[in-house]
Amino acid sequence: MKKKYALAALGLAGALALTGCGGGGAGSTPGAGSEGSADKGDMLIGVSMPTQTSERWIADGEAVEKGLEDAGYQVELQYAGDDIPTQGQQIDQMITKGADLLIIAAIDGTALSSQLDAAAAANIPVISYDRLIRDSEHVDFYVTFDNYKVGVQQATSLLTGLGVLDADGKETGEKGPFNVELFAGSLDDNNAHFFWQGAIDTLKPYMDEGVIAVPSGQTEIEQAAILRWQQETAQKRMEDLLTSTYGNGTKLDGVLSPYDGLSRGIITALQGTGGLGASIADGLPVVSGQDAEIASVTLIDQGVQFASIFKDTRKLAEQSVIVAESMLDGDEPEANDTETYDNGVKVVPSHLLQSDIVYADSITSLLVDSGYWTQAEVESGVAE
Ligand code: BGC
């Protein structure tokens, strides 16, 4: 594969393809299928996903598996239960089995260097899926969403819920001050930093003007971060904040939450003080989110959670299949961003997809009409 890339850079790939000099057949050595001439049915693609505790990763795994199988490849799909050593072992096994390509959504973006070294030694290309793998030169391509923009959208939804921005994103002149608390994702997930930066850059002017205050004073990502994106940890932090900062009757107006699972933990903590079933109309703070998980979409529909971010994982899966096919054909996959994602060793060529804010009034157009969730699922809060 590496050789093929170098040749492509010299403009020789087309000539090779014409003469059919693709290289060895699949199965002769690990990664040999990546030379381009092997039968797809003999090629194995390893897909490593972080966890099944969140809906999106199950959907991602299944969609990538189906897309690759429909394209004719063999697939080994593994979930690592959010356990870093397990993910390392699963990837090691995929390499030993002779995988021709790996698609990896890392738990800890910095923990896979030895696996990527082994993959490179066996000529196995690696696609980093959704989350950037850091500190390795052997990440060949990155498929993801515009993660900075996701953070901007999260903060925008919060500002909209507070009435600082109107539905068109224009300032209303509302000066607050609004009391807000900030949550971030898992620090070992590169995305968490992009979401945070996008959100903070958006909120900062309002914080500087005094429209937004953070009464706890916890404005650093290290203070706001939730290890492994755990719902219970977010609930606990919100309970602690309520006790430490809001026990004296100070009103909490909004919470920046970067993921629906955390949002539900936060809402549970908030409802502990406001009574079960409390909604924004009853004075529950505005809470943002991400992933359009069905339980949260239902809460948005009911006016309990304010918004989420819809990242169409079907499109991400489809994109990863396109990139995988192109690599295995010996072509250079098409990047639409070659500047943003520096993994500490190199800038990884990326394909970024766009996301949308989901409010109560856009559930139908974004999620139901596109077939992501059915109306019945939105009503029940349970995926069928
Ligand atoms: C993903 C988000 C997800 C989070 C927690 C991030 O890397 O980009 O979509 O909410 O992980 O699973």
Q: Please report the atom of ligand 1 found closest to the CA of residue 191.
A: 7
What is the residue-averaged pLDDT of the chain? 90
Q: Please report the atom of ligand 1 found closest to the CA of residue 147.
A: 8
What is the CATH number that goes with domain 2-139+312-353?
3.40.50.2300
Q: Please report the atom of ligand 1 found closest to the CA of residue 229.
A: 5
The pLDDT, as a whole number, for residue 275 is 55
In the sheet that holds 44-49, the strands lie side by side as 74-79, 44-49, 101-104, 126-129, 141-145, 350-353
The pLDDT, as a whole number, for residue 277 is 66
Ligand 1 pocket list (CB less than 6 A):
54, 56, 130-131, 185, 189, 191, 229, 259, 290-291, 311
Give distance in angstroms: CA of 366 to centre of ligand 1.
19
Long-range contacts of residues 9-18, Cβ cutoff 8 Å, at least 24 apart: 13/330, 13/331, 13/332, 16/330, 17/330
- What does the angle CA 29 – CA 31 – CA 36 come to, to the nearest 5 degrees? 110
Residues 167-190 have pLDDT tens digits of 999 999 999 999 999 999 999 999
Give distance in angstroms: CA of 373 to centre of ligand 1.
19
Give distance in angstroms: CA of 331 to centre of ligand 1.
29
Prediction pTM value? 0.90
Q: Please report the atom of ligand 1 found closest to the CA of residue 57.
A: 12
Rounded mean pLDDT, 218-240: 97
Q: Do 220 and 228 form a contact (C-beta atoms < 8 A)?
A: no
Burial class (CB in 10 A: 0-12, 13-18, 19+), 273: middle
Please choose, from the candidates 228, 202, 210, the residue with its C-alpha nearest in 3D space to the C-alpha of residue 150.
202
Q: How far apart are CA 263 and CA 214, in angstroms?
A: 18
- Asked if residue 24 has pLDDT above 80, the reply is no
Rounded mean pLDDT, 373-380: 98
Q: Please report the atom of ligand 1 found closest to the CA of residue 190.
A: 7
Burial class (CB in 10 A: 0-12, 13-18, 19+), 7: middle
Give distance in angstroms: CA of 16 to centre of ligand 1.
40
- Asked if residue 2 has pLDDT above 70, the reply is no
With a pLDDT cut of 90, the percent of the chain lying above it is 85
Whose alpha carbon is nearest atom 10 of ligand 1?
259
Q: Of the residues 107, 191, 227, 350, which should be mutated to test ligand 1's pocket, given the most ligand atoms within 8 Å of the CB?
A: 191
Burial class (CB in 10 A: 0-12, 13-18, 19+), 233: middle
Sorted by where each begins, the domain ranges of the chain are 2-139+312-353, 147-310+360-367+373-380
Residues 75-123 have pLDDT tens digits of 999 999 999 999 999 999 999 999 999 999 999 999 999 999 999 999 9
Whose alpha carbon is nearest atom 4 of ligand 1?
259
Q: Let me know if the fold of 2-139+312-353 is the same as that of 147-310+360-367+373-380.
A: yes
Give distance in angstroms: CA of 228 to centre of ligand 1.
10
Whose alpha carbon is nearest atom 9 of ligand 1?
291
Q: Please report the atom of ligand 1 found closest to the CA of residue 195.
A: 8
Longest dimension (CA), the chain: 78
Q: Please report the atom of ligand 1 found closest to the CA of residue 260.
A: 10
Q: Domain 147-310+360-367+373-380 classified CATH 3.40.50.2300?
A: yes
Whose alpha carbon is nearest atom 5 of ligand 1?
229
> Lowest-confidence range among 37-46, 79-88, 210-219?
37-46
